[in-house]
Amino acid sequence: MAKLRPRRTYRCSVSRDVPAPILPARLLLALAGGGAIALAFPDHNQWYAAWLGCGLIAAAGWVARWRTGFLVGLVAGLAYFVPTLSWSGVFVGKLPWIALATLEALYVAAMVAVIGPIQRRLVERRLGWAASATVPLGWVVGEWARSTTPFGGFPWARLAFSQADSPLRNLMSLGGAPLLTAAVATLGVLLYAVARAALATRSRALTSRRRVLTSSRRVLVPAVAAVALATLPLAIPLAGTSSTTARVAIVQGNVPKAGLDFNAERRAVLDNHVRGTEALAATAGALDLVIWPENAADIDPLRNTDAAAVITDARNAVKAPLLLGAILEEPAPLVSNASLLYRPGVLDPERYVKQHPVPFAEYVPYKDFFRRFNSNVDLVRDGMATGTQVGYFALQTRSGAPFAALPTICFEVAYDGLIRTAVTHSPQVPSVLVVQTNNATFGYTAESEQQFAISRLRAIEHNRPVAHVSTVGVSGFIRPDGSYADKSSLYTAYRAVADLPLGQGTTIADRLGRIPEYTALAGLSLAWGLGRGPRRRDNGPSTTRSSSAKEATRV
């Protein structure tokens, strides 16, 4: 009879001797993890909760088989996105809100379903460090996927966008949102490693000094790494600004009422902004640029002479270029969401047309199909044109120094490539980022604060000030380091003036572009390849698998 070879032991966890959780425990951890991440975003602003949430989700999905991983990720994703995106259903009902949250949650589900089996293979080969690395790599790749698919993607509520006040925020200047997301997820898996090692220490009989030292090291190493990662980004030097400053004003005119029909009263929104600008002219002094928000002109000023006349009056009152948002009835039969620059003494405005119209908000793909589920899709106009030109307006300060305004419109601020392309493909003169948005259709929700937080991170990423202006709030000026002096309240009239230190050149994040995402995808592929290799032999034989291995293979 052939002699039976003993089975080898292997690790199925970050630390040994702690069994992987059973399915109910996994689901509870996932629910808590997703809920914790939701608390990291405005209006809650508990940015550190994202670290804890990633750790809980890492624990929930650790070495899970793909079916279990998918279920775990779906629960975590729903707990994450249902509260965070609740603003999306405030005026259109619960169905669109839940549908959007579920779609976003599916990406978290797919991520956990993919990395769990990879982790399983890696820990079988005693490559626990590589298994741990799949967590941040998976988050980056997953967010890349949901930022680009379907219909161009929806990158709102990425892990990075919860960190505007955290000590990690300066990482934006090095690798943009992907690097910041990776840091948050890495902190999560380090916290998980600390917890597992501590539990393993309690479960062992520490009968020798060597075992005590080994157990202490397994706790201290990830703990020290977590502290270092959480604090060292504060020492990242941010590039200085140029010597050029521009005196810029923003006007938040407010709307007659919140809701999808905020502009039902003809010219009411436009007149609010005209009055705000005339009041500004009486107190602000000389200005280099005045900015109104998206949809500030609630009727097309190129086709309505009365709208054009009051805009001209406002521009003449401030004696400065006026940059405003309007919906243009062109190119027929489409419409365009545009940013128009009116210069003193020039009749026709220059324009930037929104490059990324939002599906289900500015247009509805497959409208006949989706009408079967919700008739509110007919409230969204057909045919929003897509802009093809980079946002860039050349300007001059009062002293004659050249500078530029780089506009984005509403949700465009969440898409990495749009602002980066404007920064890297425009003439290299001092510039200010302009975010024009209309938040009147989201009521008194966290949507506007979440958007303002994204603008703060974009300021750091591109080393430029941001003029963030909304019809109803939140509006404010953001410094290149992501800080701000003041911001408006919701549904109020507001005006502000600032001497902005303009940014010039490119950051490391600008120059890297998509490389962090490509690197994450390559790293995840490498981890998969390592998991396909031969298992590593243990130093000594054992007749059975360890208890943690047995438990890990159950789910």
> What is the set of active-site residues?
294, 354, 410
DSSP assignment of 351-400, as one string? EEE-SSPPBTTTB-TTHHHHTTT-GGGGGSPS-B----S---EEEE-TTS
Q: Taking a C-beta distance cutoff of 8 angstroms, is the pair 387, 352 a contact?
A: yes
Determine whether 474 is exposed, middle or buried from the number of CB atoms within 10 Å of its CB (0-12, 13-18, 19+).
Answer: buried
Contacts for 195 with CB less than 8 Å, ≥ 6 apart: 55, 59
Q: β-strand 466-470 against 431-437: which pairing, if any?
A: parallel
Tokens for 197, please give them. Answer: 């090692």
- Interatomic CA distance for residues 135 and 116, integer angstroms: 9
Spatial contact of 318 and 291, defined as CB atoms under 8 Å apart = no
Beta pairing class for 336-342 and 322-328: antiparallel
- As to burial, measured by CB atoms within 10 angstroms (0-12 exposed, 13-18 middle, 19+ buried), residue 165 is middle
Q: How do beta strands 431-437 and 484-487 pair?
A: unpaired
**How crowded is the C-beta side of 235, counted as CA atoms within 13 Å?**
5
CA dihedral over 74, 77, 79, 82, signed as positive or negative = negative
CB 256 within 8 A of CB 271: no
C-alpha distances out from residue 269 to 65, 249, 264, 353, 471, Å? 55, 18, 9, 20, 8
Contact 171, 516 (CB under 8 A): no
Amino acid, res. 499: D
Name the 3-class secondary structure at 191. helix
Q: Strands of 336-342's sheet, edge to edge? A: 350-353, 336-342, 322-328, 289-291, 245-252, 494-501
Is residue 393 a contact partner of residue 404, using CB atoms and an 8 Å limit?
Answer: yes
First and final C-alpha spacing in the chain: 35
Q: Of 250, 296, 260, which is closest to residue 376 (Cα–Cα)? A: 260
252 forms beta bridges with: 494
CB 160 within 8 A of CB 181: yes
Radius of gyration, alpha carbons of the chain:
26
Q: What is the DSSP letter of 503?
A: B
**How buried is residue 508: exposed, middle or buried, by Cβ count under 10 Å (0-12/13-18/19+)?**
middle
